[in-house]
């Protein structure tokens, strides 16, 4: 049960179908703790990088952090992002192909050229954006990655908020029915704001306009990720979690950097 709880609270993903009853209990009782658990998961590798910041170049630390972050989450972002991305590009490059043929691409055991290219671009973008935050300073890096981890949870919840559009064979449908509801999206957003504002206040970097922008951006990212999958594949499956997660997190990192960083707004 502890392993299931940590998995659910960290990545908002359901356990295997054979553990469905355990998942139901976790989904009903612990969904609200996901942002707090995620904040701890990202704070550990980010804190380690902050300690190493005076002794290592930003580029090396950025690679180290991105690697630790993906490994800590079981590479689920990369898997979902590459699988659905591969299928979407398959449909774009072969418009005559059907949705079911695209789903066979999703279920393929190995990544194709599109999926491999997408993973490479995602990792390069993450390392570059995290490296810029490290160049600005340890506090900016810590808060930027902290925001990316927290606010992406809201993007995930938006991305899966279509329980009636999941494939019949997907174990993810029950999760979507529980997580993707207005009754839980609003409290989830409030918890994320409280945790983010608390961390920013503790480090002297409170930027209200940034928080508002991040809420709007991740909601739009999650919605567009879901619409993109539905448009080209017709249905959703569990990979939409990793797809929406990667897109939302990337949007947060871009927005934090484009807005000039947290440092300039807090002074």
Q: Hey, how many other C-beta atoms are within 10 angstroms of the C-beta on 181?
A: 13
Q: Is residue 7 situated within a structural domain? A: no
Say if 174 falls within a structural domain: yes
The number of folded domains in the chain is: 1
Q: What confidence tens digit (pLDDT) does each residue in 91-139 have?
A: 999 889 888 898 888 888 787 888 889 999 999 999 999 999 999 888 8
Confirm whether 13 is domain-assigned.
no
- Extract the tokens encoding 85: 């991305």
Helix (H) or strand (E) holding 27: helix 20-30
Evaluate whether residue 6 is within a structural domain: no
Domain that holds residue 243: 36-137+144-262
Tokens of 204: 């002297």
DSSP-derived letter for residue 166 is B
CA angle at residue 246 from 255 to 28, to 5 degrees?
A: 110
Residue 15 has pLDDT above 50, yes or no: no
Looking at residue 175, its pLDDT comes to 58
201-224 pLDDT, tens per residue? Answer: 888 877 788 888 999 999 999 999
Between CA 107 and CA 119 the distance in angstroms is 17
Task: Tell me if 255 sits within 8 A of 213, measured CB to CB.
Answer: yes
Q: In sequence order, what are the residues at sequence separation of 6 or more whose Cβ sits closer than 8 angstroms to the Cβ of residue 169?
A: 237
26 domain-assigned: no
Residue 18 lies in a domain: no
For residues 155 and 223, what is the distance between their CA atoms, to the nearest angstrom? 8
Residue 86 lies in a domain: yes
Q: Name the average pLDDT for the chain.
A: 80
- Please tell me the pTM assigned to this model: 0.83
């Amino acid at each position: 049960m502890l392993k299931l709880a940590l998995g659910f609270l960290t990545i908002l993903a359901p356990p295997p179908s054979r553990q469905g009853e355990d998942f139901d209990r976790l989904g009903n009782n612990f969904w609200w703790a996901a942002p707090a658990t995620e904040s701890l998961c990202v704070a550990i590798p980010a804190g380690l990088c902050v300690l190493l910041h005076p002794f290592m170049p930003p580029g090396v630390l950025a690679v180290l952090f991105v690697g630790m972050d993906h490994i800590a989450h079981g590479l689920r972002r990369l898997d979902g992002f590459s699988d659905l991305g591969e299928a979407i590009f398959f449909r774009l490059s072969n418009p005559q192909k059907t949705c079911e043929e695209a789903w066979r691409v999703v279920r393929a055991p190995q990544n194709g050229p599109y999926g491999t290219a997408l993973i490479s671009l995602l990792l390069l973008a993450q390392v570059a954006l995290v490296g810029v935050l490290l160049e600005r300073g340890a506090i900016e890096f810590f808060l930027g990655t902290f925001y990316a981890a927290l606010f992406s949870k809201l993007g995930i919840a938006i991305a899966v908020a279509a329980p009636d559009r999941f494939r019949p064979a997907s174990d993810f449908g029950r999760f979507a029915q529980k997580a993707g509801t207005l009754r839980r999206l609003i409290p989830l957003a409030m918890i994320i704001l409280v945790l983010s504002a608390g961390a920013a206040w503790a480090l002297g970097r409170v930027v209200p306009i940034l928080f508002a922008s991040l809420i709007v951006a991740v909601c739009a990212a999650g919605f567009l990720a879901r619409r993109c999958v539905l448009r080209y594949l017709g249905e959703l499956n569990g990979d939409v979690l990793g797809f929406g997660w990667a897109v939302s997190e990337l949007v947060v990192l871009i927005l934090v950097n484009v807005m000039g960083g947290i440092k300039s707004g807090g002074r």
